[in-house]
Chain A
Amino acid sequence: MTVEETRAALAATFGVEVTSAPIMSITVPPDRWEELGRFAKETLGCRFFSFLTAVDWKEQGLEVLAKVDNLDDNVALLLKTRLGPGVTTCSSLMPVYRGADWMERECFDMFGIRFENHRDLRRILLDDAWEGHPLLKSYAVDTPHPPYR
Chain B
Amino acid sequence: MLDESTVSRVEMDWSGPERLTMNMGPQHPSAHGVFRAIVTLEGETVVAVDAVIGYLHRCHEKLSETLTYAQYPSIASKTDYVAAMTSEFAYVLAAEEIGKIEVPKRAQYLRVICAELQRIASHLLWLGTWCMDMGGALGGGATIFLYCIRERELILDLFEALVGARLLYGFFQVGGTRYDIPDGWAQQCRETVDVIDSRVDEYQQMLEQNAFFLARAKGVGIVSRELAEDVGIAGPLLRGSGVNWDLRRTAPYSSYQDFDFRVPVETDGDCYARYRVRMAEFRQSIAIIRQALDKLPAGPISSRPALKSVAQIRIPKGEAYARVEGPRGEVGTYMIADGSAKPYRMKWRGASFSNLAILPHIIPGHKVADVVAIMGSVDPVFGEVDR
Question: Is the C-beta of A50 less than 8 angstroms from some C-beta in chain B?
Answer: yes
Chain B interface residue number, banded: 35 or more
B86-119 to A contact mask, C-beta < 8 Å, 1/0: 0000000000011000000000000000000000
Question: Is the C-beta of A113 less than 8 angstroms from some C-beta in chain B?
Answer: no
B7: contacting residue among A98, A125, A128, CB under 8 A: A128
A71 pairs with B334, CB closer than 8 A: no
Question: Is the C-beta of B62 less than 8 angstroms from some C-beta in chain A?
Answer: yes
Interface residues of B in 339-387 (CB under 8 A from A): 344-345, 347, 349, 353-354, 356-357, 361, 386-387
- Stretch of A9-17, A26-34, A81-89, A116-124 that contacts chain B: A116-124
A124 pairs with B54, CB closer than 8 A: yes
A23 pairs with B320, CB closer than 8 A: yes
B267 to chain A, nearest CB (A): 15
Q: How far is the CA of A141 from the CA of B66 in the complex (A)?
A: 8
- Stretch of B20-28, B191-199, B223-231, B279-287 that contacts chain A: B223-231
Classify the secondary structure of B's interface with A: mixed
Q: How many residues on the A side are at the interface (Cβ–Cβ under 8 A)? A: 35
Interface residues of B in 223-253 (CB under 8 A from A): 226-227, 229-232, 243, 245, 250-251
Q: How far is the CA of A47 from the CA of B233 in the complex (A)?
A: 12
Question: Is the C-beta of B319 less than 8 angstroms from some C-beta in chain A?
Answer: yes
Question: Is the C-beta of B327 less than 8 angstroms from some C-beta in chain A?
Answer: no
Question: Is the C-beta of A35 less than 8 angstroms from some C-beta in chain B?
Answer: no
Q: A74-B251, A125-B57 are in contact. Are A98 and B361 (CB under 8 A)?
A: yes
- Least CB separation from B98: chain A residue: A22
Q: How far is the CA of A132 from the CA of B57 in the complex (A)?
A: 15
Interface residues of B in 140-198 (CB under 8 A from A): none
B339 to chain A, nearest CB (A): 15
Q: How far is the CA of A123 from the CA of B53 in the complex (A)?
A: 10
A62-74 to B contact mask, C-beta < 8 Å, 1/0: 0001010001001
Q: How far is the CA of A110 from the CA of B58 in the complex (A)?
A: 12
- Least CB separation from B52: chain A residue: A124
B321 pairs with A22, CB closer than 8 A: yes
B4: contacting residue among A23, A98, A122, CB under 8 A: A122
Question: Is the C-beta of B264 less than 8 angstroms from some C-beta in chain A?
Answer: no
B1 pairs with A102, CB closer than 8 A: no
Q: How far is the CA of A65 from the CA of B319 in the complex (A)?
A: 13
B230: contacting residue among A47, A119, A122, CB under 8 A: A47
B334 pairs with A67, CB closer than 8 A: yes
Q: How far is the CA of A98 from the CA of B353 in the complex (A)?
A: 14
Interface residues of A in 12-62 (CB under 8 A from B): 22-23, 47-51, 53, 55-56
A56 pairs with B230, CB closer than 8 A: no
Q: A55-B336, A135-B61 are in contact. Are A48 and B229 (CB under 8 A)?
A: yes
Contacts of B330 in A (CB 8 A): 50
A99 pairs with B250, CB closer than 8 A: no
A27 to chain B, nearest CB (A): 12
Interface residues of B in 297-348 (CB under 8 A from A): 318-321, 330, 332, 334, 336, 344-345, 347
B324 to chain A, nearest CB (A): 13
Q: How far is the CA of A101 from the CA of B62 in the complex (A)?
A: 22
B232: contacting residue among A49, A78, A134, CB under 8 A: A49
Contacts of A141 in B (CB 8 A): 62, 66
Interface residues of A in 120-149 (CB under 8 A from B): 120, 122-128, 134-135, 139, 141
What are 22 A-B interface contacts by the 8 Å CB criterion? Answer: A22-B318, A23-B321, A47-B226, A49-B231, A50-B232, A51-B332, A51-B349, A53-B334, A55-B345, A71-B229, A76-B321, A98-B227, A98-B230, A98-B231, A99-B231, A99-B354, A110-B61, A125-B54, A128-B4, A128-B8, A134-B59, A135-B61
Given A51-B347, A71-B243, 4 other A-B contacts at CB below 8 A?
A: A53-B334, A98-B227, A102-B353, A141-B62
Q: Which 10 A-B pairs have the closest CB atoms?
A: A99-B232, A125-B54, A99-B231, A49-B232, A125-B57, A53-B347, A51-B349, A47-B229, A102-B357, A48-B229
